[in-house]
Amino acid sequence: MNGKILAVFFFFLCLAIGCATLESPKGAEKTPVITQSFASKEIRIGETWKIYLNASDPSGEMKEISSIMEQAGQNHPERITEVSKENTKEFSGYLYLSTASLANVLDGTSITLWVQIRDKSGNLSQPAIFPLTIKNEATQEAPPQGVFREQDLGPMVAQKSSWINSLFNSGSSTYSGSSNPGASSATPPPNSAPGRRR
């Protein structure tokens, strides 16, 4: 009698474990992750700004790095940096942006940069947020030693798409966290909201 009860118990236990195993892939959609990030909060006018990232993707499908910039009085288009084939699963390095390419840069100009990784399916990582003040006299802070590789990931290249500007000027969603230590909380542009592109 005890043997039959035990057999029934193990049957239902195995059934429950099997159902849990079948359901887990549905709930957990794998997306790229920015694990660490850093950028100096001040640089000189005309200097090239370096934005350091460590990122990974369990599926090995990272395709591009999307950057959206907010600057008072300016609508900057999305900037894209392609991820090289050897970096689609994991990378460590820096993006760069010449402040000479920005419009109306004066002493004390402030911008906020939103950076996300997009995979081949259009899934986006959570954003890393970088505030920057551009000054006549400033020293660009170096990244913490031993955390990032000095690998050039490429420049942030502006995409001249009119739909980006229309999205940039429409509603927004709130995101209160950041992979960037010390970065202030802010509201990201709607086209860089976390999750999958639709």
Residue 23 included in any domain: no
Question: Looking at residue 76, what is its pLDDT?
Answer: 82
Beta-carbon neighbour count of residue 130 at 10 Å? 25
Residue 82 included in any domain: yes
Give the CATH number for residue 54. 2.60.40.10
Residue 65 included in any domain: yes
The count of domains in the chain is 1
Q: In which domain, by residue range, is 44 found?
A: 34-196
Per-residue pLDDT of the chain (198 residues; tens, 9 = 90+): 555 555 555 555 545 555 444 443 443 468 999 999 999 999 999 999 999 999 999 999 999 999 999 988 777 889 999 999 999 999 999 999 998 888 778 899 999 999 999 999 999 999 999 999 999 999 999 999 999 999 999 998 887 643 334 344 433 333 333 444 444 444 555 444 444 443
Burial 133-161 (b: 16+ CB within 10 A, else e): ebeeebeeeebeeeebeeeebbebeeeee
Residue 59 included in any domain: yes
Residue 47 included in any domain: yes
Question: Looking at residue 171, what is its pLDDT?
Answer: 37
Residue 19 included in any domain: no
Centroid of chain to Cα 109:
23
- The enclosing H or E element of 111 equals strand 109-119
Residue 15 included in any domain: no
Location of structure tokens 């399916």: 121
Global pTM value: 0.70
